[in-house]
Structure 1
Amino acid sequence: MTMKNQFGKVGVLFGGRSAEREVSLMSGKGVLQALRAKGIDAHGFDPAERSLGDLAAEKFDRVFIALHGRYGEDGTLQGVLEQLGVPYTGSGVMASSIGMDKVMTKRIWSSHDLPTPRFEVLDAAGTSADDLRRVAAELGLPLMLKAPHEGSTIGISKVTAPAELGDGFSLCARYDDVVLAEEFITGRELTVPVLGAGRQARALPIVEIRAPQGNYDYEHKYFSDDTQYLCPAPLDAELTQRIQSLAVRAFNAVGAAGWARVDFMLRASDNEPFLLEINTSPGMTGHSLVPMAAKAAGVSYEDLCVEILASADLDLKPTADWKPV
């Protein structure tokens, strides 16, 4: 069976309306090119430029979601595809929604006794300077402030001194109704891609990220050649296995499926790993970490795209007499 016959007409959804549109455009173009190179009948579709009616009219047999952030990674589009009966890559509605919410993700991980930095949730509109000073005293400085529903290091601020609290908080509050204040873990930054689902979920090699001055911001993440990536990360076998196992447990705890990337900090003082967040629709750009880890495992970018596409499914199985639009 040819790839075209196996997968039918495939939509690659990219772009979108989130703050991560630029990155999504790069991811989607890479995926589209890779699938076409494998002989798959793949078509690009930008939900910011075309309507949901157009999406239904395309009658895709399955879609590869290369959207990042809100309106694509947060469960909203997954719900639309469920209604249309179009199998899609990645996590279902609920897991996508949870994974896009850093606060809810941390609460679920904590309930599963999975290690994550201490945190507090602050009202973006009702938090006073005294509240910020109290949180800084409780969690310590440096302190991370984050917009819980953004990704790609958008709406994030590292506060190293009390005088920086106000500006850091204001930056994050521009993007969200609440701000996540999180204990800063000094150490090494790691990430672990996970493929599959449930008992079949497997971790790919660990990537260690070494950004200039430890500042893995938007520029260093997607455009700079100054950031170093070590894959597989230089860790002993026992610690590697432990971190990969934690990644799979974290992946399953939120109900993720298909693929995702789990981010960690490895504390310098004792080599204890701490879970930061999960990305249920990770980047697929030339600087992205999932393709990097797959390559270290002997899987090419093109083959990775095909494997992810092959996992496309519907979250809620229809009844026998249900017919898709």
Structure 2
Amino acid sequence: MKHVAVLKGGWSTERAVSLVTGDAVARALENAGYRVTSIDLQRNLTALLADLTPRPDVVFNALHGRFGEDGCIQGVLEILGIPYTHSGVRASAIAMDKPAAKRIFASVGIRCPEGVEVPVAEAHSAMPAPYVVKPASEGSSVGVLIVPEGDNAAPLKTVDWAFGRNVLVEKYIPGRELTVAVMDGRPVAVTELRPLQGFYDYEAKYTDGKTEHLVPAPVPEAIAAQAMEWARLAHDTLGCRGVTRCDFRYDDAGDPPGTLYMLEINTQPGLTPLSLVPEQAAHIGMDFEQLCVWMVEAARCDS
């Protein structure tokens, strides 16, 4: 019987989501016949080493956010020589650094919104409104602010900003929210996300009934094909493995079929009851247990 250690929790802003992901994964793997040890990761390397003794066959990395999907825990597992799910050190680190990832995507022909990385204090003067302010290295839309046209106020002066010294300021793209999961270099499907109010923020992602999911997305065939190809290209260009998910904005105004923009790649998408990757996997006939088993069996080290 293969022994799988599920890493969950941690201390990032996405701890709560990680706990839900980790619990769901642990149940699925136990049902599939694996011996599972769940580890609520603390900021204590000695405790982690103790938790990983005896050594598991595979670590299922169910962590989200900083220290869990930015290459840090991946580096620890590489040193220990334990195979783990999702992307390796380099791909994880680059994907989490949104400005760096955008530069790489642009170099291979993926269209991204115009953007600039600036100190927090300069966010309000980086470009004319409407624009979007987001942390340079966070996930799950944590800390994202949309500044509407005609509003040149300094938005970060009115909030408790705790996401680093620099921010990414991007031109606001009107239109629709799309996402594409990639498994082992193959795009799965295109989902359109329609929040019932506001935009697809943290609350809309993780609160039942806040967002409508349409899969396959009701968009022109050319846009769906472009989204899937760009998701595959982003995954391969960064050297990702396992499962990733790419998010897009589709400006459907003007001449058909409109214009697609890639926002970011997520190397460790959520696996909660409301998450998008399990939904897309189900769309192609793979249930949640099968998805988790596939990820365990595809796990490896980079070294």
Normalized against structure 2, the TM-score is what? 0.93
Give CA deviations for 1:36-86 in whole Å, capped at 9, x if unaligned: 111111111111276232244231111111100011100000000000000
The alpha-carbon distance between structure 1 residues 52 and 226, as it changes in their structure 2 partners (threshold 3 A), is closer
TM-score after normalising by structure 1: 0.87
CA–CA separation in structure 2 for the residues paired with 1:190 and 1:110: 19
Specify the alignment match of 1:278 in structure 2.
265
Q: Distance in 2 between matches of 1:172 and 1:145?
A: 14
Partner residue, 2:42:
48
CA deviation after TM superposition for structure 1 residue 254, in Å: 1.5
| d(CA) in 2 for partners of 1:229, 1:114 | 25
Using the aligned pairs only, state the percent identity: 39
**Does the 8 Å contact 2:5/2:52 carry over to 1?**
no
Pair 1:238 & 2:230 matched: no
1:319 is aligned to none
1:87 to 83, 89, 92: 83
1:46 is paired with a residue of what secondary structure?
strand
Does residue 58 of structure 1 match 2:37? no
How large is the Cα RMSD of the aligned pairs? 1.7
Name the CA distance, whole Å, in 2 between partners of 1:202 and 1:294. 12
Give the aligned partner of residue 248 of structure 1.
232
Is the Cα–Cα contact under 8 Å of residues 136 and 167 in structure 2 kept in the other structure?
yes
Residues 1:212 and 2:196 are matched in the alignment: yes
Question: Deviation of residue 114 (structure 1)?
Answer: 1.1
Matched with 2:249 is 265
Partner of 2:170: 182
Contact 1:294 1:300 in 2 (8 A): yes
Q: Confirm whether residue 192 of structure 1 aligns to residue 180 of structure 2.
A: yes
Q: Distance in 2 between the 1:31 and 1:151 partners?
A: 20
CA shift, 1:98, in A, is 0.6
Q: Which moved more, 1:235-244 or 1:83-92?
A: 235-244
Asked if 2 retains the 8 angstrom alpha-carbon contact of 1:122 and 1:181, the reply is yes
Q: Does the CA-based 8 Å contact 1:156-1:171 persist in structure 2?
A: no
When structure 1 is superposed on structure 2, of 8-17 and 163-172 the one drifting more is: 163-172
For 1:204, what is the secondary structure of its paired residue? strand
Q: Deviation of residue 24 (structure 1)?
A: 0.3
| Distance across 2 between alignment mates of 1:99 and 1:285 | 21
Q: Distance in 2 between matches of 1:145 and 1:250?
A: 22
The equivalent residue for 2:94 is: 98
Q: Aligned partners of 1:35 and 1:170: how far apart in 2? A: 44
Aligned to 2:66: 70
How far the C-alpha of 1:278 sits from its partner, in A, is 0.6
**2:32 match:** 38
Q: Do 2:248 and 2:263's aligned partners in 1 also have CA atoms closer than 8 Å?
A: yes
- Listed one character per residue, the Cα deviations across residues 151-206 of structure 1 (whole Å, up to 9, x for unaligned) are 1111110001454641246648421120100011111100000011xxxx101111
* Map 1:78-227 → 2, pairs under 5 A: 78-124=74-120, 127=122, 132-133=124-125, 135-137=126-128, 141-161=129-149, 163=151, 165-168=153-156, 171=159, 173-196=161-184, 201-227=185-211
Say whether the 8 Å CA contact 1:12–1:45 is kept in structure 2. Answer: yes
Instruction: Indicate the residue corresponding to 2:13 in structure 1.
Output: 19
- Answer yes or no: is the 8 Å Cα contact 1:10–1:41 preserved in 2: yes
For residue 22 of structure 2, what is the aligned residue in structure 1? 28
Distance in 1, Cα, partners of 2:148 & 2:181: 30
Question: For the residues of structure 1 that align with 2:293 and 2:159, how far apart are their CA atoms?
Answer: 39
Question: Cα gap change, 1:63/1:18 in structure 2, threshold over 3 Å: closer, same or farther?
Answer: same
Distance 1:311 1:170, change over 3 A: farther
- Structure 2 counterpart SS, 1:57: coil
- Give the conservation status (yes or no) of the 8 Å contact 2:29–2:292: yes
Residues 33 and 164 (structure 1 numbering): CA distance in 2 closer, same or farther, change over 3 Å?
A: farther
The answer on whether the counterparts of 1:157 and 1:172 sit within 8 Å (CA) in structure 2 is no
For structure 1, which runs of at least 5 residues remain unmatched after alignment? 317-325
Inter-partner Cα distance in structure 2 for 1:93 and 1:44: 22
SS in structure 1 opposite 2:245?
strand
